[in-house]
Amino acid sequence: MVTSHGEKPISSKVQHQAKQYLENWRQWQAPFQSEPCIVSQLEGGLTNTSFIIEAGSERAVLRLNNPDATKLGVNRQTEITILKKLQCADFVPRTYFADHNLLVTEYIDGYALDANSALKPDIKQQIEKTIEQIQAITLPDLDTRRYQSYLQQYCNQLSPLYLDKTIRQSLLQIAHTIDAEDWNAVLCHHDLIPENIIQGANGLFIIDWEYASLGHPQFDYMRLLHSHHIMEIPAKFCSIQALQAILVQLWYAIRYPELQQSVKHELNKIIQTVNTQ
């Protein structure tokens, strides 16, 4: 059996914490008849730590939320609101329990896509249809993401000695350009990379909605098709693809400070690419 992220040996550092949460399994809307146990720790996600858990023949995924997620641009309440709305969708694993510390979801027996499989015509068509379904979902109580403010929150966490005023202004101007354009906000996953799309027996499932919000209608399309490589993007989409690349790089600079110098180099390349369009 292939899991959605792949499996790795269980980390003893977080295993104790996970077992404490398992004691509260009766509070979940999961199909367990007895207390589940940890089967394995999942590979993949860089923000959180996730496990496959099992009781009898039933399995689920237990995610321990990163306590510093807010610094990484995650709003847990927004994620919970969106997941509740998506429970009627057939492309999202069922949510059994969610709070600011923990997420327990349906286990999907399948495999994560990669860049090549996501671009196969039949798979690409399914993904595009799913994005259309996502964008048709209404969440009138959610605020639209203002990308300049969102990016500013990342910049504020980095030292001016590393991210100087000139670079900051250039980055924020790219986000401001997108905010100032005329577009209608739709539900965006905002991290729709192939690894967050699982091919299961009953179709495709999209996971990891923690960065989701209302946003630009082209964001998910461009994120999926081109990742954060902006060199091949048509000029009319260059700014939004550049924004994606900036957010990815700043995320790494915050999550892994040892990468800051290489990230600074990449940010300068992005700025130069945008300025030559």
CATH number, position 250 = 3.90.1200.10
pLDDT band at 52 (very low <50, low <70, confident <90, very high): very high
Residue 232 pLDDT exceeds 60: no
Residue 7, amino acid:
E
- Cβ pair 155, 168 in contact under 8 A: yes
- Cβ pair 230, 242 in contact under 8 A: yes
Q: pTM, whole model, 2 decimals?
A: 0.91
Quick check: is 2 in a domain?
A: no
- Joined tokens for residue 138: 């209404």
Percent pLDDT > 90 in the chain is 75
Q: Tens of pLDDT along 183-203?
A: 999 999 999 999 999 999 989
Quick check: is 86 in a domain?
A: yes
Q: Tens of pLDDT along 171-183?
A: 999 999 999 999 9
- What is the pLDDT at residue 273? 84
- What is the pLDDT at residue 46? 84
Q: Tens of pLDDT along 147-180?
A: 999 999 999 999 998 899 999 999 999 999 999 9
For 154, other C-beta atoms within 10 Å of its C-beta total 20
pLDDT band at 274 (very low <50, low <70, confident <90, very high): confident
Residue 132 and residue 12 share a domain: no
Host domain of residue 43: 7-107
Residue 6 pLDDT exceeds 80: no
Residue 231 pLDDT exceeds 60: no
Residue 17 pLDDT exceeds 60: yes
Residue 105 pLDDT exceeds 50: yes
Q: Which own/partner pairs from 270-277 qualify as long-range (CB within 8 Å, at least 24 positions apart)?
A: 270/230, 270/242, 270/245, 270/246, 271/167, 271/170, 271/171, 271/174, 273/230, 273/231, 273/238, 273/242, 274/174, 274/230, 274/238, 274/239, 274/242, 275/170, 277/235, 277/238
Q: Tens of pLDDT along 121-138?
A: 999 999 999 999 999 999
- What is the pLDDT at residue 74? 97
DSSP track, the chain: ---SS-EEPPPHHHHHHHHHHHTTGGGS----SS--EEEEEEP--SSSEEEEEEETTEEEEEEEPPTTGGGGT--HHHHHHHHHHGGG-TTSPPEEEE-SSEEEEEPP-EEE--HHHHTSHHHHHHHHHHHHHHHT---TTSPBP-HHHHHHHHHTTS-TTTS-HHHHHHHHHHHHHHHHS----EEE-S---GGGEEEETTEEEE---TT-EEE-TTHHHHHHHHTT--TTS-GGGHHHHHHHHHHHHHHHHHH-GGGHHHHHHHHHHHHHHHHT-
Residue 92 and residue 166 share a domain: no
Percent pLDDT > 70 in the chain is 91
Residue 205 and residue 79 share a domain: no
Residue 131 and residue 87 share a domain: no
CATH number for the domain that contains residue 88: 3.30.200.20
Last residue of a domain, one of 107, 131, 157: 107
Quick check: is 265 in a domain?
A: yes
For 266, other C-beta atoms within 10 Å of its C-beta total 17
Q: Per-residue b/e over 119-129, b at no fewer than 16 CB within 10 Å?
A: eeeebeebbee
In the predicted model, what is the mean pLDDT of the chain?
90
Provide the number of structural domains found in the chain. Answer: 2
- What is the pLDDT at residue 101? 95
Residue 234 pLDDT exceeds 80: no
Rounded Cα distance, 277 and 273, in Å: 7
Range among 18-27, 145-154, 194-203, 261-270 rated most confident: 145-154
pLDDT band at 11 (very low <50, low <70, confident <90, very high): low
Residue 4, amino acid:
S
Residue 196 and residue 151 share a domain: yes
Rounded Cα distance, 256 and 105, in Å: 28
- Cβ pair 237, 136 in contact under 8 A: no
- What is the pLDDT at residue 173? 96
- Joined tokens for residue 60: 């689920």
Residue 133 and residue 46 share a domain: no
